């Protein structure tokens, strides 16, 4: 019995060490099309996937036209479409982490999202993986909805070649206006007040 006790303790310790063996090691590198293996803790306000639904006309959406529809998905599996937001005014902002003017206007977008609960702010990232978006958001304390669109199909459909660019969407789903370049909070508010 005395000889079995050290063997039993050794087996218990080995089993415990084997279960903790992955702690402290780096996660596997992301592979194209499978970014979930290396995702950092993704805040619930960041959509990890998105895709264009309405390819429609190749022309850039203009005021009065229905805003091209797209879908975005959060880490918990919840999906939402732009068209689900009918009845609300929406600000679509196209941005990237490497874009200085985009970074400069982010605090005003966040302020708008905090102060105007009657307006939905969606910031669609252009061509970057969620691994780049999460640290950017965390370092700046962003809690507005950020949408990863690494394929770039949404930004392409909206003609977001130069960023930042923003679309102000009426509550009926039509484009109210489009703004190319950086905006101040005051500019955002002026555009929102013109929406129906």
**24 occurs within a structural domain:** no
pLDDT of residue 55: 77
Pick the range with the lowest mean pLDDT from 5-9, 94-98, 155-159. 5-9
Return d(Cα 63, Cα 58) in angstroms, integer: 15
**Six-digit token string for 75:** 């880490």
Q: Residue 39 — very low, low, confident or very high, per pLDDT cuts 50/70/90?
A: low
**133 occurs within a structural domain:** yes
Return d(Cα 5, Cα 13) in angstroms, integer: 12
Q: Residue 56 — very low, low, confident or very high, per pLDDT cuts 50/70/90?
A: confident
pLDDT of residue 57: 77
3-state SS, the chain, equals CCCHHHHHHHHHHHHHHHHCCCCCCCCCCCECCECHHHCCCCCCCEEEEEEECCCCCCCCCCCCCECCCEEEEECCCCEEEHHHHCCCEEEEEEECCCCHHHHHHHHHHHHHHHHCCCEEEEEEECCCCHHHHHHHHHHHCCCCEEECCCCCHHHHHCCCCCCCEEEEECCCCEEEEEEECCCCHHHHHHHHHHCC
Range of the domain at 108: 42-194
Using the predicted structure, report yes or no on whether residue 112 has a pLDDT greater than 70. Answer: yes
Q: What percent of the chain has pLDDT over 70?
A: 80
Sheet holding 46-52, edge to edge: 79-81, 70-74, 46-52, 145-147, 119-125, 89-95, 165-169, 175-180
pTM of the model: 0.79
> What is the domain count for the chain?
1
Mean pLDDT of the region 20-24 = 29
**1 occurs within a structural domain:** no
**132 occurs within a structural domain:** yes
Q: What's 119's domain CATH number?
A: 3.40.30.10
User: H helices then E strands: how many in the chain?
Assistant: 5, 8
**22 occurs within a structural domain:** no
Report pLDDT digits (tens) over 116-143: 999 999 999 999 999 999 999 999 999 9
Mean pLDDT of the region 42-71 = 93
Answer yes or no: are the C-beta atoms of 46 and 72 closer than 8 Å: no
Using the predicted structure, report yes or no on whether residue 38 has a pLDDT greater than 80. Answer: no
Report pLDDT digits (tens) over 140-194: 999 999 999 999 999 999 999 999 999 999 999 999 999 999 999 999 999 999 9
Mean pLDDT of the region 74-88 = 97
**72 occurs within a structural domain:** yes
**23 occurs within a structural domain:** no
**34 occurs within a structural domain:** no
Mean pLDDT across the chain:
84
Answer yes or no: are the C-beta atoms of 48 and 158 closer than 8 Å: no
DSSP class of residue 127 equals S
Using the predicted structure, report yes or no on whether residue 196 has a pLDDT greater than 60. Answer: yes
pLDDT of residue 13: 34
């Amino acid at each position: 019995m005395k000889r079995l006790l050290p063997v039993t303790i050794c087996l218990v310790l080995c089993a415990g060490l084997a279960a903790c063996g992955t702690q402290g090691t780096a996660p596997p590198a992301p592979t194209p099309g499978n970014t979930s293996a290396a995702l950092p803790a993704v805040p619930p306000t960041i959509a990890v996937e998105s895709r264009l639904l309405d390819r429609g006309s190749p022309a850039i959406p203009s005021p009065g036209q229905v805003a091209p529809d797209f879908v975005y998905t959060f880490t918990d599996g919840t999906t939402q479409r732009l068209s689900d937001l009918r009845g609300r005014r929406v600000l679509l902002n196209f941005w990237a982490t490497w874009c200085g003017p985009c970074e400069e206007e982010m605090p005003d977008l966040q302020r708008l999202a905090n102060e105007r609960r009657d307006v939905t702010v969606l910031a669609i990232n252009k061509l970057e993986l969620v691994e780049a978006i999460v640290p950017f958001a965390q370092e700046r304390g962003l809690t507005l909805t950020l949408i990863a669109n690494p394929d770039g199909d949404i930004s392409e459909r909206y003609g977001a070649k130069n960023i930042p660019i923003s679309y102000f969407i009426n509550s009926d789903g039509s484009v109210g206006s489009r703004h190319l370049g950086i905006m101040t909070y005051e500019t955002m508010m002026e555009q929102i007040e013109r929406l129906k």
